[in-house]
């Protein structure tokens, strides 16, 4: 007897539903984004919701790939130097991967949450009443690849820079909407 694939029109053969996780309920596919979203959900207060969660650009790897390209070309002239640069590019790519894994930037309806670092992991939470400005810094490579650094200036002398943000303009717009709405309503978090 030959097994035929199930007929999609047959009501007796229904596909098995995928298990639902917090990330899949929020509309985020499995992977690093889902993991960072789950971590972010654990940081929220009960009446807090995420307004915007940024994506870190694959452009974070460009320096490692540039050094790897030079290493491959140098292997033709000097195999030892080429091999050395290949090892250096591997380390650069590993650091870029770990940085992409640990970078987190999100705006909620109450604050901005940032996480950065590999060995020293810093988690910074700024209430909107403590934010002076949200700016974007574009490098030449960032303009070609499509990423920017988000520069958040807090009250006092606090400046936070999150690099390689793919959807930086959307993040800035979302935070500016929150800042303007709080300014117009006269609402403070103090």
Kindly provide the b/e burial profile for residues 110-146, where b requires at least 16 CB atoms within 10 angstroms of the residue's own CB.
bbbbbbbeeeeeeebebebebbeebeeeeeeebeebe
Q: What is the mean pLDDT of residues 57-68?
A: 95
Distance, in Å, from the CA atom of 172 to the CA atom of 167, rounded to the nearest integer, reads 9
* 74-90 pLDDT, tens digit each: 999 999 999 999 999 99
Domains of the chain: 49-184 (2.30.29.30)
The size of the chain, in residues, is 190
Judge whether 6 and 13 are in contact, CB under 8 Å: yes
The pLDDT of residue 69 is 96
Query: For residue 91, is pLDDT > 80?
Result: yes
Q: What is the mean pLDDT of residues 1-24?
A: 50
Query: For residue 115, is pLDDT > 80?
Result: yes
Judge whether 92 and 67 are in contact, CB under 8 Å: yes
The pLDDT of residue 32 is 59
Q: What is the rounded average pLDDT for all residues in the chain? A: 83
175 half-sphere exposure, CB direction, 13 A CA radius: 28
Judge whether 41 and 33 are in contact, CB under 8 Å: no
The pLDDT of residue 4 is 54
* 14-47 pLDDT, tens digit each: 544 444 444 444 444 455 567 777 777 778 888 8
* 151-183 pLDDT, tens digit each: 999 888 788 999 999 999 999 999 999 988 888
pTM of structure? 0.73
Which of 21-30, 56-65, 90-99 bottoms out in mean pLDDT, i.e. has the lowest? Answer: 21-30
């Amino acid at each position: 007897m030959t097994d035929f694939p199930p007929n999609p029109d047959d009501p007796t053969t229904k596909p098995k539903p995928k298990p639902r996780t917090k990330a899949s309920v929020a509309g985020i596919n499995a992977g690093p984004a889902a993991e960072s979203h789950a971590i972010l959900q654990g940081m929220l207060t009960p009446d807090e919701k995420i307004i915007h969660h940024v994506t870190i650009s694959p452009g974070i790897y460009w320096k490692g790939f540039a050094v790897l390209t030079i290493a491959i070309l140098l292997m033709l002239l000097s195999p030892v130097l080429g091999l050395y640069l290949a090892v250096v590019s591997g380390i650069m790519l590993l650091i870029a991967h770990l940085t992409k894994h640990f970078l987190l930037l999100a705006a909620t309806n109450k604050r901005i949450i940032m996480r950065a670092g590999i060995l020293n992991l810093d988690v910074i939470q700024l209430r909107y009443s403590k934010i002076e400005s949200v700016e974007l810094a574009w490098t030449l490579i960032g303009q070609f690849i499509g990423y920017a650094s988000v520069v958040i200036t807090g009250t006092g002398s606090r400046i936070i820079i999150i690099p390689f943000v793919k959807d930086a303009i959307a993040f800035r717009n979302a935070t500016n909407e929150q800042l303007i709405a709080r300014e117009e309503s006269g609402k403070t978090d103090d």
